[in-house]
Amino acid sequence: MTGVRVLVDAVVVASVASALVIAPRALARRPGTAGPAARSVSPAVLLMLVTGLVYVNQVLFTVYVLRVHDGDASFIARYLPAGWFDLATANPALRGLAEVFPAPGLLAPSVLRVQAFLELPFVLLAFVTVVRRLDADLYRRIARSALLPAAAVSYTVVFCLVEWDLRNPYTVDDVVIRAVSAVVTPWLIARVAARETATTRVTASVPGLLMFIGWLGALGGLVLVVYDTALLYNLGRLNDRLPLALAAAAVLVCLHTAASRLPTRTGPPTPALSFVAHALRRWLVLFFVPALVVRYGLLFGTPRLALAAGALTSVVACVQAGRDALAEVPGTGDGAGPRVRAALRLAAWLGCAILAAAAGAVPAVRVTPRSYEEVALLSAMAGFLITGVAVCGLLDTWTGRTRRGTPGTKCS
pLDDT 10s digits, 240-253: 999 989 999 999 99
SS3 269: coil
Average pLDDT, the chain: 87
234 in a structural domain: yes
- For residue 334, what pLDDT is reported? 54
* 123-158 b/e (C-beta count within 10 Å ≥ 16 → b): bbbbbbbbbbbbbbbbbbbbbbbbbbbbbbbbbbbb
Is residue 412 predicted with pLDDT exceeding 50? no
pLDDT digits (tens, 9 = 90+) for 149-167: 999 999 999 999 999 999 9
293 in a structural domain: no
Cα gap 247→338, rounded to integer Å: 48
Is residue 33 predicted with pLDDT exceeding 70? no
Compare 113 and 329 and report the one with higher pLDDT.
Answer: 113
| DSSP state at residue 412 | -
pLDDT bucket at 401, cuts 50 / 70 / 90: low
- For residue 409, what pLDDT is reported? 34
Is residue 341 predicted with pLDDT exceeding 90? no
Of 80-94, 181-195, 255-269, 347-361, which range is least confident? 255-269
Is residue 126 predicted with pLDDT exceeding 60? yes
Any residues with CB less than 8 A from the CB of 143 and at least 6 apart, and which?
128, 189, 190, 192, 193, 194, 196
- For residue 317, what pLDDT is reported? 94
- For residue 30, what pLDDT is reported? 64
pLDDT bucket at 330, cuts 50 / 70 / 90: low
Q: Domain residues for 163?
A: 1-30+40-261
129 in a structural domain: yes
Domain count for the chain, please give it: 1
DSSP string, 67-134: HHSTT--HHHHTTS-TT-----TT-HHHHHHHHH-S-GGGGGGGTTHHHHHHHHHHHHHHHHHHHHHH
Mean pLDDT, residues 171-190 taken together? 97
Is residue 135 predicted with pLDDT exceeding 90? yes
6 in a structural domain: yes
Is residue 70 predicted with pLDDT exceeding 90? yes
302 in a structural domain: no
Is residue 359 predicted with pLDDT exceeding 90? no
219 in a structural domain: yes
Find the DSSP H helices in 328-370: 336-366
- For residue 355, what pLDDT is reported? 87
pLDDT digits (tens, 9 = 90+) for 288-321: 999 999 999 998 999 999 999 999 999 999 999 9
382 in a structural domain: no
363 in a structural domain: no
Identify the CA nearest to 123 among candidates 314, 332, 295: 295
Q: What φ, ψ does residue 135 adopt, rounded to 5°?
A: -160, 105
